[in-house]
Amino acid sequence: MGTSSGRVDAVLGIDIGSTNVKVVALDAAGHVVARVHRATPRPADEPSIDAARLFDTIEEMALAACGDRYAVTAASAAGVGEDGVLVDAGLAPLTRALPWFDPRRTELFDALKPSLGPADGIGTATDAARTLVGWAWARARPGAEPAASWIALTDYVASRWSGTAFLSDTLAARTGAWRPLARTWIDARVEATLGSAQLLPAVLRTGAAAGELRSPRLAEAGVLAPGALVVAGGHDHPVGGWGVDRLHPGAVLDSMGTAEVVVAQTRVPPDLSPGAFDVSPGIHNASGATVLRVVELARNMQWASRDPDVAHALNQLISGSAAPDDGLYSHAFRPGAAGGHAPSYAPQAPAKPLSRASAVLGALAALGDQAITSIQTLTEADTPVYTAGGWARSRGWLDIKRAVTGKDARGIAEPEVTAVGAALLAAHALGWSPSVTTALNCHPETSGSTAH
């Protein structure tokens, strides 16, 4: 498959993360033919993001991915769920994007809570990380007055390329003001934070075509195929989970990085009780939903690692260079919980560093298993679990999870599951049928015990 310029057609998948931006190019057969990484651009003095600078960075990455061989036929972006910017009528950003993890959110959320009121059916907790806190922050910024629309940071590049502001529905589900199954806004929450529903862009289903990809810079470089499409992406975990769902309908993705995020597509709507799951619309699955649960890994590990001897033991256990002792099953470690509750050791916890490290990893493995089990109740019986992320390449950690849970999982070797999931969305919009097994570098016989 080639263009009139002799370039080979490819789709781009973009993953806009809190730390890094990744772009992959996928050919029609499903091979990842190029990948480019850059640090997420932030100023040196604070963590907010300039969306215009991010746009320039991603265009540079697209050019690098295409090189002198490939042409973009469609592109889709997935990434962080809650960050965004106010833009003017020409889609130029008027504010920076306040990150979901920015500590300034907590004080602002506390001030907003009395005006928010209860909300049923939003499918996620109402807390300081939600987009509606970013709405209130952005409205108070100098220069925000001429705002014409709000755009999620993850959708910003796609909105610029298509010339139309939009919001992917899996990102609308992160706002704290949208009902994902009813697909309706909670007007009182929008008014209390964003100020006006007129600033809300159209909500597109993840995977829908948003328009033609128009980029003078890419066109001048000759890397745009005629009629190239922009495809709505969305929240990173659902998009990565949808890619895995293409391997096996109903499959669970256990993605282990800074946090352990367990995600799956359900075929029926789940319970929307607060705290049960985070729920967003299904992807190419209108009758069901995307469900996910998050288990904190990094915060618990950082707390335990304050003791250098325990930190050394943790590193040995995760790498597989040491074996855990009976502390693995001891319940001597109490993981930190959502809402800032600190980790702790039980009163009679052993003092031996190896035992403490074993207890920490045993407790985290058990928490991850609880998340997987709860989500599997919403999927078909015996659906497989696929592991991905940095921790999924640590033999010792996978052995510990198997010892604690008695369960195996299938390993995904592809390191950029979200970016590849976004590329598969772009390919689907074109009617391509790439090999998902090839794209994710995953083979059915690969279990968690053999992942590298």
Instruction: Calculate the alpha carbon distances from 358 to 28, 331, 332, 373, 407 in Å.
Output: 45, 10, 9, 22, 18
Q: Is 15 within the bounds of a domain? A: yes
How far, in whole angstroms, is CA 234 from its chain's centroid? Answer: 8
Q: Which residue has the tokens 């057609």?
A: 9
Q: Give the dihedral of Cα atoms 319, 320, 326, 327; nearest 10 deg.
A: 0
Determine the structural domain holding residue 58 and report its residue range: 8-233
Q: Is 356 exposed, middle or buried (0-12, 13-18, 19+ CB in 10 A)?
A: buried
Would 277 be classed as within a structural domain? no
Low-confidence residues of the chain, pLDDT below 50? Answer: 1-2, 4, 444-452
Q: Does residue 23 lie in a domain region?
A: yes
pLDDT score of 310: 97
Is residue 168 one of the residues assigned to a domain?
A: yes
Is 199 inside any structural domain? yes
How confident is the model at residue 378, as a pLDDT? Answer: 86
Cβ atoms of 169 and 204 within 8 Å: the answer is yes
Exposure of 320 in the CB half-sphere (CA atoms within 13 A):
14
The whole-number pLDDT of residue 339 equals 53
Q: What digits encode the pLDDT tens for the residues 75-84?
A: 999 999 999 9
In a domain, 105, yes or no: yes
Residue 296 counted as domain residue: no
Cα separation of 57 and 37, whole Å? Answer: 10
HEC states along 260-329?
Answer: EEEEEEECCCCCCCCCCCEEEECCCCCCCEEEEEEEECHHHHHHHCCCHHHHHHHHHHHHCCCCCCHHHH
Angle at 261 between CA 445 and CA 229, to 5 degrees: 85
Task: Quote the pLDDT of residue 321.
Answer: 96
What does DSSP say about strands 8-16 and 20-26: parallel, antiparallel, or unpaired? antiparallel
Where are any strands of DSSP class E within 389-442? Answer: 410-411
State residue 5's pLDDT score. 67
Q: What are phi and psi of 396, to 5 degrees?
A: -60, -40
- Domain membership of residue 263 (yes or no) is no
Number of domains, the chain: 1
The pLDDT value given to residue 452: 25
**Looking at residue 151, which CATH number applies to its domain?**
3.30.420.40
Give one DSSP letter per residue of 169-181, joined into a string.
HHHHTTSSSEETT
From residue 363, how far is each of 163, 217, 223, 293, 298 by CA, in Å?
Answer: 48, 51, 50, 16, 13
pLDDT one-digit tens code per residue, 178-220:
999 999 999 999 999 999 999 999 999 999 999 999 999 999 9
